[in-house]
Structure 1
Amino acid sequence: MMKRRGVFLGFTGVIVITFLIQSLLSFSSSSGRENINDKGPDFLRSGEYWADSILKTMTLRDKVAQFFMVAAWSSGEKQNRQEIDQWIKNQHIGGVIFFQGDTQKQKELTEHYQSISKVPLLIGMDAEWGPAMRLSDAERYPYQLTLGATNNDTLVHDAGYWIGRECADLGVHINFAPVADVNVNPGNPVISYRSFGENPREVAENVLNFSEGMEKGGVMACVKHFPGHGDTETDSHYELPVVKHTVKQFQAIDFVPFQRAINGGVAAVMIAHLNVPALDSTGIPSSLSEKVIKGWLRDSLKFDGLVISDALNMKGVADRFGKEEVVLRAFLAGNDILLFPESVNAAIDAILVAVEDNKITESEIDDRCKKVLKAKYWALQQQKKRTAITTKDLLKVEYLKRAVAKSAVTVVRNEDSCIPILDFTKKTGIVVVGKKEDVAENRLLDYLDAKVFYFSDYSPERMGEVLFEYDRVIHVYIASTNRPAAGFGLPEGWDIYQHGLNPDREHIGVFVGNPYAITKKDAFDIFDGLVVTYENSPIIQDIAIQGIMGAIGLKGRLPVTIDQRFRRETSFQTEGGKRMSFILPEEAGIDRVDLSKIDSIALAGMEEGAYPGCQIIVALEGKVIYRKNFGYYTYSEKNEVSDRTVYDLASITKVAATTLTLMDLKGKGLFDLDATLGDYLPDIVGETVYANLKMQDMLTHQAGLTPWIPFYTKTLKGGSWRQEIYSTTPKEGYSTQVAEGLYILDNYQDSIFARILETPLRRNQGYRYSDVGYYFLKEIIRRKTGVTIDQYVRDHFYIPMGMSAMTYHPLRKMDGKIITPTENDKIFRKQLIRGYVHDQGAAMQGGVGGHAGLFSNAMDVTKLMQMFLDSGRFAGKQLLEPQVINEFTSCPNCSTNRRGIGFDKPVRSLSGGPTCELVSLDSYGHTGFTGTMAWADPKYGVNYVFLSNRVYPDAENKKLLSLSTRTEIQRVIYEALKKKKNYIFTNEQ
């Protein structure tokens, strides 16, 4: 397979020049006074009387103090509360900016500080991606680069809105966001993912939408970092960066987003600490430059709102000037809010001296103080309108994050259309680089039968060796941070192990983190497919994997140029709907509160001792809306049930193996429902009455077969195993394993058939459930296909459908630790049964029965049932003929027998039986003796799976039946469905 070989270029200048040309052509339509909001920021039109009345009560020192916003922590890391108390009480400072802490403590401190201040404080916060940027218990919103990848104005606006709402809920008045910098330098150490992108016009629209959303949420926006921090190579937190743009470049690139925000009436602009020779040739930092602030920002861009300095303790300026001088210079240059000053008292004194020295007039002090007061008035009015964030609001936020992820995740390479992954027949390995057992890994295992390797367990050289045998390798990079300075949160060597991979295999990468990391040499050239997510979060991991597996379409596009290989606007959009997806219940119109009643029923069953634990999945129209695990493997509560936990399916095997295969054979013309046992197995049934039994009658349980035959009883003598039938070690003639340390005669199958044939048929051949017919059906399948039933379903269904857990003989495939035990069999096998089939007859067949023997987790059962609901289609392939599914799931003898062909059906009166009364008569499925149920309803699109090991440790435990747990859960599903409605997720409702 040919691989692309990209060449990394140092081409920052190329990007700048490219956008200079592009932007100059269009800049004239968005610069100057065209489309400017002549009224300026909203706060300037409010609080005139209030501000004047406050101003009259102030001394000159009080007025100057209003320009100071000091740093506060609610984390306890810095015990500065007493100091701030003194500044508020004695110096009458104007505001506080909060840093690290938690929500409740910040609320408490905000209330306290406001209570001791003569004039309401202006509360600020640096919350670019929400309060979580500073608070440990807040939920993080998407980064700006992620929002930029969505190309969706509404999502950007809504992100700003909800960030505003959450800030307002904390008592915050101004959020120092969004970042308006155009990040044209991939090596930018400080802006990077904090920017919306590198296209000035797109960044401008995103800045405007985000700012408008935030102010609608009740918080003032502050665009930053003027005059533009997007083309720097040093971090202004540590030194003063130089931006070498010309005036025309500033106008064509950096100024565009600021101008758009100003035109839209943004409240505030933050000034960066930069050396910008084209704008101020003196070398004075932009934050201290009158030319930059008063000349370019005020006069050229016509900004009338609040000018706010970047933190004045940052080394980019702090190391060049004294603590008082840097504050004084910032104020005289035109900053209205002096952020994070290190010496409040002395700095106030310095400004007062400047007034005395006529460096600034008291009239200008009054004007600027009044502007600050009017901003406070606007903020106070917004606080009065504030409403508490409700559960309904939190749902909208969750939906927003998912919508952003769906729109942002980007396929940046897709050779041979390898994404989405539709072929599961390739032997697949998964490499996880970063956190183990994270969302992405687990979601992949929901779709794929694959081996997982962890980068941390191997040397980079060894990794290539262990992956050599795999036809496809999916590489998942889980970055712990987006910060370039922290190596993008990836372990050492992550970018070199790929050089040892086999280029003739298919390689697909999912990069969960800052995409600028993939500039690393030629690390990604071997990949046929590559997806970038822009950040790491559980939601974005989930969406990315659903996307590469074809459950949802991916439509994001790169908002930045990474390098020569991955340029801005790169996007390979993919189609979804190929597989089951995982969504919020509300996206399907179902209230999660209604579904939460399932939890109560499941927990009640555990409390009653009906089962130690269970798995439950509910899907609607092919989308999983509920998936939860409860309890433990046993009552000892040592091993919690997880998504990967495997259960003995018992009689669900009848539909998931035998009926499934017979439907396939019928569609291929190899199986006839009207044929008899004599037609298919003449050498076994001879001329007995069994020879006349029809296939359809056996599959609908009306052939007159006895319900169950305890075959094992004749293999015991005095309660012990008969030595001529069993061996405790495998040896010639005894290779068929029944349980751990127990092997049966290989030809004992003949004795089983003989035992069946000597059992009389019932005279009344009406409906009566029986396992017995499935012994014959299994043999028919072997003869028709030439392979055993376990081989057939594995090769024709389970592997093509990516079923990692559905299998016979689970101990041959998986670690027994993930399999729940069933009965402590004291009579037959004399051991706790775990990983071996519970059913005695199936065990005597070596664990492969037509009626029992399958193991699975709930997800794989759900996939199979969904394939039935989807008329036999899976991942774009037709696995079964639709008309065959319709025939087998019908009710051919409804007047006397509710059963389908192989499938169970509801009681026709919908009273009693395996289902609740709310299902449709078209529904079908099966239950299992071990405490399992799988049920599909084509009329309502419902797919419901319940798995438990209710037979642990004793199969006589009938509480699952007496409590009707499975059907009560089913009733909850349909009651929720009856209340289905269209949810509106925008912030307008």
Structure 2
Amino acid sequence: MFLNKISLFIAFNLFVTIAIAQENTAKTPEFLQYTQSTWVDSIMESLTPQERIGQLIWVAAYSNRGPEHRTEILNTIKKWNVGGLVFFQGDPLSQVTLMNEYQNAAKVPLMGAIDAEWGLGMRLDSTISFPFQMALGAIQNDELIYEMGKEMAHQIKKVGLHLNFAPVADVNNNPDNPVISYRSFGEDKYNVTKKSIAYMQGMQDEGLLTTAKHFPGHGDTSTDSHFDLPQINHSLERLNDLELYPFKELINAGINGIMVAHLNIPALDPSGKPSTLSKAIITDLLKGQLGFKGLVISDAMDMKGVTKGNAPGVVDKEAVLAGNDVLEVVPDVAKAVAEIKMAIDQGILSQKTVDARVRKILAAKQWAKLNEYKPQPLTNLLQDINNPQALLLERKLTEASLTVLKNEGNIIPLKSLDTLKIMSISIGADSKTKFQKTLDLYTKITHFTLPMEASLKEIEAIKKELPQYNLVIIGVHDDTPRPRNTIKFSEAVQTFIQTLPFEKTLISYFKNPYSIDKLENLENAKGLIAAYQDGNSAQDLAAQLIFGGVGANGKLPIGIGKKFKAGDGLTIKGGIRFKYTLPEDAGMDSKTLFKGVDSLMNQVIHANGIPGGQLLVAKNGKVVLHKAYGRQKYNDTTKVTLEDIYDLASVTKISSALPAVMKLYDEGKFDLNKGIADYLDYFKNSNKADANFKEILAHQAQFNPYITYWKNTLRKNGSYKWSTIKKDSSARFPIKITSNMWLHRNYRKKVFKAIKKSPLLEKKEYKYSGLLFMLLPTIIEEITQENFVEYVDQNFYDKLGAGRLTYNPDKKFDKKHIVPTEHDFIFRHLPVHGTVHDEGAAIMGGVSANAGLFSNANDLAKLMQMYLNMGTYGGEEFIKESTLKEFTKTQFPENNNHRGLGFDKPYLKYIGENSNTAKDASSESFGHTGFTGIMVWMDPKEELLYLFLSNRVLPTRANTTLYKLNTRTNIQQLLYNAIK
């Protein structure tokens, strides 16, 4: 009697407290309009009392278990007429196949439910996992959360299901919470509420039933209800103000369902009962005082938080008596049905109450269109689930969640790459991480990994390396796909982390941010990024953030001890360097792009036009295709990788001397109206003294196309002249062509002489010529008084982070990463591998502006993107915009010359397959091609960058299949098609 009075007193006070707080009227869930529908009436009439009880019971199902489990589920459906199935682990195809079979066996269409808080990937393989709710809590644009809800609904419905047990609406204000933590939107009730509503509305707007959980609030627990019954000892005022707040707002917003947790909350029910078995909490509070009319679903009835001390069947009956409409994951259906039936027979539970709940369940099924049930098709299932927009959305959410907690000296994004010597350490990893691989895309970095249980020897080896570098990038990784608030690093590793040279350290933290508080001194790092989880997208995008490929505006959704408070987070502007992303992010269609490009590349490879190649496509500064194809050589097993470097041939012209010329032009040190003789006295009395650079660079200065300089090294019998080439190096023969060919130190004079004495063509019209580019390195050295290679390295390649853009690559790289070119049996008498293919450039010691540069697509693209940006990249101006506009415009169209200054341009009139570009390339576009099978092209109108690297001259330059198939320009046209 005394306890009853206390209960009434508490209930009255609770009612007053909550009623005063409720300013809005609870919104009736949409599905309730069907409770008296013709279809629901017909189903009710067809069901026996026992079958109606069955509708209240939903059981666990798996799509990765054997035939015995399938048989068990089929028998349960047929015998007990259960209302629904809750699916757990498996795969999408098996999931749909089984659900179709189960529906076929059911008297009443089954409700298919899944616990997919962060997407189907939480339960089914080969599907997408969106970021955990804690990461989503950092996002400032709730529209993204809404879009996630819509996409999630689309995917869940595709696998034949109708209800998602989400969102988690718990306010996680206990850092030691073992079960909610990363599953919550955070510790701020308003943020949790806004995001829960956005998530819910997205799903419901796409026709998916939703369930907010875990009522009345599981956020401030230190016990996992899967294993025991947590107790929450807060006052009514505190519960009403904090824990209940998101649920009240979700009810007002019209959520379909509420899941009740297994919690002991004395202030709401002093009996000690789990909330799932509490009439005071479910019937009086949730349904009565809060006015919730939707589906009330219990948390799983096999969890120890409710089963402990409660007998099977009896516990299910108690849950129904407490007010639950649905019992989730009932382990013993027979006992549950028997106990509930007995309660009806004894008058403890009325048939009217059961019928009302069944009608509610059936109404929800009708809202989910189960009254029009059709088997779910398997066709294109995986493609539909893993659609490009969903994949992009996952990356957008991850990017938007990135939270910069420290940015001392604006270290993020990194600038002045030429001043940095960088090492990276992935802590908690045994091999090179995705984080490190993405860092590699931006500049040269030396990588180390440190396992969780690293030995002192391993740690000491890394510590010895630290002084050699002026920047240390740390990735702190997790050992579990779910970011628990734990630190499992060995004591030695923890000590290493806590004693890092923080004054030169930038940390990306891929663990639960709560655990930052368990490692001393991390807050002293020069830069600190909270990435929330250790997935590929988080690692990839955190690395891009460090270099300015993406920005950040995430705000910490929780406090981290005394180090950081909820709401902390700095805004970082991105877009200063490449963003590596998906085509849809740049307004391109991935299906058109990938399928078309792959088809054309496979065509030319199978036709032996090229053994392989690399492609890079960027739009709006976003790299949307970056792929290696085929092999380095025919009949070889060495596949092309993205790190491999190719001989750029004539693309060297616009990649070495031309940027130097433009920079010197900016500085007033190079005059386009002057000519070669103004910078090289040797040419003052030549027939080329009067030609100005504007005409020469536009290829209409009457220069001959090319001179076969190497032939002057030979006697008539084919042997080398004694004064040109020797087998061994010496002071007189220091220029290496091959290991058995060393050129005389003065042979360059013969090249200059040949150029000087070469006759001019009759007409001043467009005729492509490489003669000037043999001279430009010397001209640039005369102007700058610096070594040419050092000049372009220091002023361009080093600053761009383009370490693989280089001359004489065999001096820097292992040959396995240098793609071979022609088998030269005329001049060098061996296959060319590691040195320049062009004989003229080879005679110049591998350093010419005519040819000689090597690169992979990624590093060459940085230079080309700088051009496309009209002179800027990485937050730095390399060349003035006005200069690039001058050099990239058609100079002499009146003379039927389509060229710019150094740059190639589209023909003045498109002539079909014989044109040098795709039909849709704009007149503003510019680029160049290379004899070895290279093409680079930039289109400012579409902000489109295209690089095609190949070694079509292997084994012979006579192979013109690449040209005949028109592969390069056909691929270029595909890019425009993908934009359209």
Could you list the per-position Cα deviations for residues 194-253 of structure 1 after superposition, in whole angstroms to 9, with x for gaps in the alignment? 111111122122222222221222221111111211112222222222223222221111
Q: Is the Cα–Cα contact under 8 Å of residues 468 and 502 in structure 1 kept in the other structure? A: no
Residue 889 (structure 2) aligns with: 890
Partner of 2:5: none
* Aligned counterpart, 2:448: 453
Q: Distance in 1 between matches of 2:721 and 2:351?
A: 108
CA contact (8 A) 1:461 1:497 kept: no
Secondary structure of 2:320's aligned partner: helix
Q: In the TM superposition, what are the counterparts of 1:58-207 in structure 2 within 5 Å?
A: 58-76=47-65, 79-207=68-196
- For 2:59, what is the secondary structure of its paired residue? strand
Question: Partner amino acid for 2:426?
Answer: V
The offset of 1:130, in angstroms, is 1.8
Secondary structure class of the residue paired with 1:172? coil
| CA distance in 2: counterparts of 1:591 and 1:516, whole angstroms | 39
1:368-767 paired onto structure 2 within 5 Å: 368-381=357-370, 394-425=387-418, 426-433=420-427, 434=429, 436=431, 439-456=434-451, 459-479=458-478, 481-485=480-484, 495-505=494-504, 507-522=505-520, 524-595=522-593, 596-636=595-635, 638-682=637-681, 684-685=682-683, 687-716=685-714, 719=718, 725-726=724-725, 730-740=729-739, 742-764=741-763, 766-767=765-766
- 2:309 aligned residue: 320
SS of the residue 1:293 aligns to: helix
1:260 alignment partner, SS class: helix
- Secondary structure of residue in 1 paired with 2:467: coil
Q: Distance in 2 between matches of 1:673 and 1:685?
A: 17
Cα 1:786–1:491, aligned 2, differ >3 Å: closer, same or farther? farther
1:5 is aligned to none
Unaligned runs of 5+ in 2: 1-15
- Describe the SS at the equivalent of 2:368: helix
Q: TM-score scaled to structure 2, two decimals?
A: 0.90
Alignment of 1:950-969 (within 5 A): 950-969=952-971
Residue 215 in 1 paired to residue 217 in 2?
no
Aligned equivalents of 1:475, 1:77: Cα separation in 2: 44
Q: State how far apart, in whole Å, the 2-side matches of 1:186 and 1:89 are.
A: 46
Query: Given the two structures, how large is their TM-score scaled by the length of structure 1?
Result: 0.90
Does the CA contact (< 8 Å) of 2:100 and 2:375 recur in 1?
no
Measured after TM superposition, the shift of residue 167 of structure 1 is: 1.6
How far residue 940 of structure 1 moved from its aligned partner, in angstroms, is 4.0
Instruction: After TM superposition, give the deviation of residue 678 of structure 1 in Å.
Output: 3.0
CA RMSD of aligned residues (A): 3.0
Query: C-alpha distance in 2, partners of 1:698/1:295?
Result: 90
Q: 2:133·2:182 contact (CA, 8 Å) conserved in 1?
A: yes
- Corresponding residue SS for 2:523: coil
The 8 Å contact of residues 496 and 523 in structure 1, kept in 2 or not, is answered as no
Deviation digits for residues 680-734 of structure 1 (CA, Å, limit 9, x no counterpart): 222x446444555543443233344333233333435655556764455555444
Provide the rounded CA distance (Å) in 2 between the counterparts of 1:910 and 1:592: 27
Q: CA deviation at 1:438?
A: 5.1
Q: Distance in 2 between matches of 1:341 and 1:384?
A: 25
Query: CA 1:233–1:960 in 2, change beyond 3 Å: closer, same or farther?
Result: same
Identity of aligned residues (%): 36
- Contact kept? 1:643, 1:857, Cα under 8 Å: yes
Q: 2:26, 2:292 within 8 Å by CA — same for their partners in 1?
A: no
Question: How many Å apart are 1:412 and its aligned residue?
Answer: 1.6
Amino acid at match of 1:141: F
- Which residue does 2:266 correspond to in 1? 277
Q: Is the 8 A contact 1:467 1:501 kept in 2?
A: no
- For residues 446 and 840 of structure 1, the distance between their equivalents in structure 2, rounded to whole angstroms, comes to 32
Question: What whole-Å deviation, never above 9, does each CA across 1:743-800 have from its counterpart, x for those lacking one?
Answer: 3333432333344445444454543322222222211111222222211111001111
Tell me if structure 2 keeps the 8 A contact 1:419–1:548: yes
Which ranges of structure 1 fall in alignment gaps of 5 or more residues? Answer: 1-26, 980-989
Which piece of structure 1 moves more, 708-717 or 668-677?
708-717
Q: Deviations over 1:627-646 (max 9, x none)?
A: 33322222235233333232
Contact 2:158 2:385 in 1 (8 A): no
Q: Partner letter of residue 522 of structure 1? A: E
In the superposition, relative to structure 1, how do residues 86 and 29 fare at CA in structure 2: closer, same or farther (>3 Å)?
Answer: closer
Partner in structure 1 of residue 907 of structure 2: 907
The alpha-carbon deviation at position 523 of structure 1 amounts to: 5.2
Structure 2 residue 278 is the aligned partner of structure 1 residue 300: no
Mark the CA change 1:529 to 1:504 in structure 2 (over 3 Å): closer, same or farther.
closer
Correspondence for 1:813? 812
Aligned length: 950
Report the Cα distance in structure 2 between the residues aligned to 1:821 and 1:129, rounded to whole angstroms: 47
Measured in 1, the distance between the counterparts of 2:220 and 2:394 equals: 29
- Residue 246 of structure 1, aligned match among 235, 244, 248: 235
**1:521 positional shift:** 1.7
Match of 2:937 among 923, 935, 938: 935
2:726 and 2:522 map into 1 onto residues whose CA distance is: 55
- Find the aligned partners of 2:449 and 2:712 in 1 and give their Cα distance: 50
Q: Distance in 2 between matches of 1:45 and 1:322?
A: 36
* 2:107 partner SS: coil
Letter of the 1:274 partner, please give it. L
Q: 1:811 to 1:526 in 2, by over 3 A?
A: farther
In the alignment, residue 143 of structure 2 is paired with which amino acid? T
Partner of 2:11: none
Identify if the C-alpha distance between structure 1 residues 945 and 320 changes in structure 2 by more than 3 Å, giving closer, same or farther: same
Per the alignment, residue 12 of structure 1 pairs with none
CA–CA distance in 2 between the matches of 1:48 and 1:688? 98
Q: How far off is 1:568 after superposition?
A: 0.7
Residue identity in the other structure for 1:85:
L
Counterpart CA distance in 2 for 1:550 and 1:125 is 38
Moved more, 384-393 or 894-903: 384-393
CA distance in structure 1 between the partners assigned to 2:173 and 2:753 by the alignment: 81
Q: Which residue of 1 aligns with 2:880?
A: 881
Query: What's the CA shift string for 1:435-466, capped at 9, x where partnerless?
Result: 75554433332322323333349823332322
Describe the superposition over 1:585-619 as per-residue Cα deviations: whole angstroms up to 9, x where unpaired: 44444434443433332322222211111222333
Return the alpha-carbon distance in structure 2 between the equivalents of residues 317 and 291 of structure 1.
16
Shift of 1:658: 0.9
